[in-house]
Structure 1
Amino acid sequence: MKQILIPFISFFACALAHSQTPCENGFAGQYPCNNYDLMSHIDLNELSANAGNDSWGWTDPQNGKEYALMGLSNGTAFIDISDPINPNYLGKLPTHTQASSWRDIKVYNNYAFIVSEASEHGMQVFDLTKLRNVTNMPTTFSSDAHYDGFGNAHNIVINNDKPYAYAVGTSTFGGGAHIVDISNPLSPSFAGSYSASFYTHDAQVVTYNGPDSEYVGKEIFLGSNEDEIVFVDVSIPTNPVLISTISYSNIGYTHQGWLTEDHRFFFLGDELDEINFGFNTKTVVFDLEDLDNPSIHQEYFGPTSAIDHNGYIHEGIFYLSNYSAGLRMVDISNVTSQSISEVGYFDTYPENDNGSFDGAWNNYPYFESGNIIISDINRGFFLVRKSGTLSSSSFDKNSFSVYPNPAKSFVQIKDSSQSIKIIELFNLLGQKVLTKEFDNESEIKINIESFKSGVYLLKINNSLTRKFVIK
């Protein structure tokens, strides 16, 4: 269905590629969607890169501004998304050595820590507070520190409770955890390791606060190790202790997983099982009530055959970057009773939902604003947001008329039964951008030429609201 519709809407999509586009009738421009709107998009050409990969986010504690950090084939892009409808590409930190399809980023105490599969790349350290005063955009940034205790690395993991970074898939310790002390971010140092002859592709580290009282308060490393999950107590970096391991059926490549917020369940994605065994996107859910004896709780199958990649959990929603099927939002609030269901999606790769390595690589759903980063291999940076998050009471269509809608220069508001006293216009961040009061008028005309294109909420007489689009 997507391939049939694309030719008819591609022109419309190009015109809106960088602007706010609501999800209406299953599409936001050319992008299939359900329950999530496109806030903005920056393509790879503007980012001067051949491909996108990982992403993360940073909120400036000084002023609350939000920034997207996006991995690219040739470096790391920094994007100011404090106005999500009009993001500012601030610049790029170039790769430390050469280009690579793999780059990974995490944040600790206002510093970004970046690794790559590029040979001898090591770990770049970047002071994010430098983003506060960028004048010439896009600028070329430089690292503030560098750690060369390893060469290439596939991934980096940080638990924000503790000053340690865990580089995994490195050329050291058989690809197991290479632990770096980042208590002084500008002088990172070796802190420990754990290998036990296995390669870790990705991992999560948490200060455990789950149902197994034996491990509460300890630092637990959950490693996705190609053909199994490992659980390691890394409370003492110089002396990690293996707790347990678990595998599952139909293994393709044990790729990445994430804990529920109560630390009871672990959601795992296998990157190759869809291709190898021919079923739809599968997520394996493990029950960690007893960390010494984890068990399989259930398997969840998505609606397409696309390959799952990176998934994160926030406030009862599993945000799964699903390659060619885009970002899928899955309600897991009833996972205990094995009741999981998809509640939305935004598909950044409209060509198909096949088992290919195209489309959404990663996402970041942790901004307080509700805006969500999607980093796409083929199309660059996307920012999306749940539809209707700022909607209010229903509008009585028999009382007021708003036309034209969409509008470009002027909008007329007419009331057939009551007088108009006040008009307010809000953007989708909830910010009021216009207020006009009237002396009991029945019909008014407002000039909107000074406003940026996008979706707004028009509020009439402090109670009735209608969605309004400015072209």
Structure 2
Amino acid sequence: MSYIKLSPQSGSPSKCGRRVGQNYKIGFYLKTAKPGQDKKHLPKAEGSVPSQARDKSETYIIEYRPAMVRFASVAVVGSAMAGVASVAIAGSKVDYQSGAVHAHIMARKMEHWKEEEQAGLMNSAQYPELGYTPCVNGFAAAIPGDSMNTFRCRNVDLYHFLPHTALGSSVGRGSSSWGWTSADGREFVVVGQMDGAAFAEITQEGKLSYLGRLPPHSVPNMWREIRVVNDLVVIGSEALGHGVQFLDLKKLLTLDPARPKTFAQSDLTGYWNGLPSGRAHNVVVNEERNYAVAVGAVAADARGQMIRPHDLPCGGGLIFLDISDPANITSPGCAGGDGYVHDAQCLVYRGPDARYHGRDICYGYNEDTLTIYDVTDKTGNVTNIISISDYPGATYVHQGAVNNDQWQEYLFLDDEYDEEFATVGPMARGLTTTHIFDIRDLEKPVYTGQYAGKTRGNDHNQYMHDGFLYQSNYGNGLSVLDVASVTSDPTGAGICEAARFDIYPEDDEEVGGGRVRTSGTWSSYAKFQSGFILVHTIERGTFVVKMTSKECEKPASCSADNCMRALRASHIPGRLEESQQFCWDFTRRLNKDATKVPEYAAKACGSDPVQRVSSACACIPAPTVPVMTRTDTFRYWPTLYPTPTAS
């Protein structure tokens, strides 16, 4: 049986109208109609959608009957921004439930990526292999004098870069990625591409050594999600008919990089495809309890468009996979009580809420809410929802991470599209924003504040490791945040950026220092013992970087010399504002051109004006990033998946 959201008033699926303490259960009945057969006279049979449901000669209709969904708490979080209404703004509740918001976002991405393809940016063969390059004075100049291969950075050195073509892909277009460490300490990466997943080893020198690839189980697709549980890689995709692939990564240990291997589907350790149309937006794993979860599994119409019928089995929610025997993977049930789940973090609960200690908890990022589930019981498809919360400006609740797996007190959440659509807080200026929840009471999460980056850009994925939050923020690249202060100051005011590496220099000179668009890095992985960090990108390929320090930036040491006085000259109307704009523009690139220094500064800064003015600019406050002009509003977009052309 399967479970969906249910309104107590009407019996129809809804996120509205729920009352705490009411229990519902929904079991589905299947009717099968042969061509020409009258559907009204078919018998009803309780069970699961059979594998032959993909047979186009039959029509399947799913009906729901009452059975069980439990809600512990439904909370609309009080605003941490005074006077601001707490509401998801990209669309109405119905728009989220129907999938219209998700379809809109995915179509926007596809339109943008099509533009990048037409501009030649998706041809990864044009991006050269890059070797070790230290970060010096805020830049890693991998190719001196080439602004497109000079990367803004702080406390991060570049060790290696390989384009998608060097990682076996004819199409490129990177997506998710993950890492694996073998029993003997070797470090490997698995990176998603439109035409499959590539495998590489990170050598002791920090270089990528390409080993082979696993093609998709069906057609190419941009969305390919990857996780690792123990020695097993789990790969899902939005591609129709793809299912979930499982491969024992120990098979990589004997591969020869001189002869990269293309795995066949017969090489898989396991495969499961009990999904409505073979597609899942994401896959999740619980390493401690050794299970996997497919989320965001929706149906598709005859043209391949996403559809979310209200009676979809499991509602696009958490579909649990028993992987104890990888060769015979089964699903004991699902939790669809809050509908579509975009991503989740599933952990054994350890934290201050004694009611849930030791239980299996999933933190669900459900498009317009943070939904916390107790998934200890994965059989019988009973949904136990602990709480449902939102926050000011919620637009597309995308992904997140708790501050400490071993003591879960706070949660960091990224909203993929609040920078584009929200009109409150730092999101209104398009600044990458991380939202903070106090989850010490799982039944009553409290929204406590946010951390805003200094440049414009969408956020995407983030993970905790050793007390630091590693973020892949599209065009802003890798950002490493020191979040230790959140336990004493949950407003986020004490959070600071310890390191960064901007892998997308194309937008560095935009207003706000970046572009609110889905270009750049999709994912990163920072859990290697060696300290090497994988940064995987959409257009270019894969970077290997390493931090040189985890110290946050300190205020610049400023001396009131002639150079500084010239830039700040308060007796000259408008001079400070002029200098602010000059410094912003001048320092966005690695600049050695003295002719770009304005005359008033060149005269005052002496014989080495570039060096002197660069130092002085560190003491000039950056211009305020203005509120972003919105040129687009929510609307319905088609979401067909065209077959890509090889780059």
**TM-score scaled to structure 2, two decimals?**
0.57
2:133 partner letter: T
Q: State how 1:14-413 maps to structure 2 within 5 Å.
A: 17-28=129-140, 29=142, 30-47=150-167, 48=169, 49-61=171-183, 63-135=184-256, 136-142=258-264, 143-150=268-275, 151-171=278-298, 172-238=313-379, 239-261=382-404, 262-277=407-422, 278-279=428-429, 280-336=431-487, 337=489, 338=492, 339-352=494-507, 353-387=514-548
Is the Cα contact below 8 Å between 1:19 and 1:85 reproduced in 2? no
- Contact residue 269 and residue 326 of structure 2 kept, 8 A: no
Q: CA RMSD in A?
A: 1.5
Any gaps of 5 or more consecutive residues in structure 2?
A: 1-125, 143-149, 299-312, 423-427, 508-513, 551-647
- Change in Cα spacing, 1:34 to 1:190, as seen in structure 2 (3 Å) is same
Q: Describe the SS at the equivalent of 1:133.
A: coil
Distance across 1 between alignment mates of 2:217 and 2:532: 30
* Contact 2:127 2:163 (8 Å CA) reproduced: no
Cα distance, 1:139 vs. partner? 1.6
Q: 1:101 to 1:217 in 2, by over 3 A?
A: same
Deviation at 1:196, TM superposition (A): 1.5
Distance in 2 of aligned mates of 1:301 and 1:15: 31
The answer on whether the counterparts of 2:135 and 2:157 sit within 8 Å (CA) in structure 1 is yes
Q: Is the 8 A contact 1:23 1:387 kept in 2?
A: no
How far the C-alpha of 1:24 sits from its partner, in A, is 1.1
Identify the residue that residue 601 of structure 2 maps to in structure 1: none
Secondary structure at the residue paired with 2:198? strand
* Partner amino acid, structure 1, of 2:156: Y
Gaps of 5+ in 1: 1-13, 390-471
Q: For residues 7-65 of structure 1, what are the alpha-carbon distances to aligned partners after superposition, in whole Å with 9 as ceiling and x for unaligned? A: xxxxxxx998331111112111211111101111111121223200000000001x110
Cα pair distance change 1:194/1:250, threshold 3 Å: same
User: SS of 1:179's equivalent?
Assistant: strand
In structure 1, the partner of 2:90 is none
CA shift, 1:72, in A, is 0.7
The whole-number CA distance in structure 2 between the counterparts of 1:100 and 1:26 is 36
Structure-2 separation of matches of 1:326 and 1:155? 21
Deviations along 1:371-424, whole A, 9 cap, x unmatched? Answer: 1111101111111100259xxxxxxxxxxxxxxxxxxxxxxxxxxxxxxxxxxx
Partners of 1:199 and 1:22 in 2: how far apart? 44
Report SS of the residue matched to 1:250. Answer: coil
Letter in 2 for 1:27: F
Larger radius of gyration: 2
SS at match of 2:211: strand
CA–CA distance in structure 2, aligned partners of residues 17 and 32 of structure 1: 18
> How many residues of Structure 1 are paired with residues of Structure 2 in the alignment?
375
1:295: how far off? 0.4
The one-character-per-residue Cα deviations of 1:271-317 (angstroms, maximum 9, x if unpaired) are: 11101133311111000010011101211111111000000111121
1:145-180 CA distances to partner (integer Å, 9 max, x unpaired)?
211111100101101011211100012411101111
Which residue identity is paired with 1:179?
A: F
CA displacement at 1:82 relative to structure 2? 3.0
| Worse-matched range after superposition: 223-232 or 277-286 | 277-286
Which residue in 1 is equivalent to 2:82? none
Q: Which has the higher helix share?
A: 2
Q: Determine the C-alpha separation between the residues in 1 that align with 2:206 and 2:233.
A: 24
- Counterpart of 2:153, as a letter, is C
| Matched ranges for 1:448-459 at <5 A | none
| Contact residue 97 and residue 120 of structure 1 kept, 8 A | yes
What amino acid does structure 1 have at the position aligned with 2:293?
Y
What's the CA shift for 1:138? 2.2
Q: 1:16 to 1:98 in 2, by over 3 A?
A: closer
Q: Secondary structure at the match of 1:232?
A: strand
- SS of residue paired to 2:129: coil
Q: How far apart, in 2, do the equivalents of 1:318 and 1:350 lie?
A: 23
Partner AA of 1:255 in structure 2: H
SS of residue paired to 2:315: helix
Identity across matched positions, percent:
39
Distance between the aligned counterparts of 2:205 and 2:366, measured in 1? 36
Deviates more, 1:96-105 or 1:333-342: 333-342
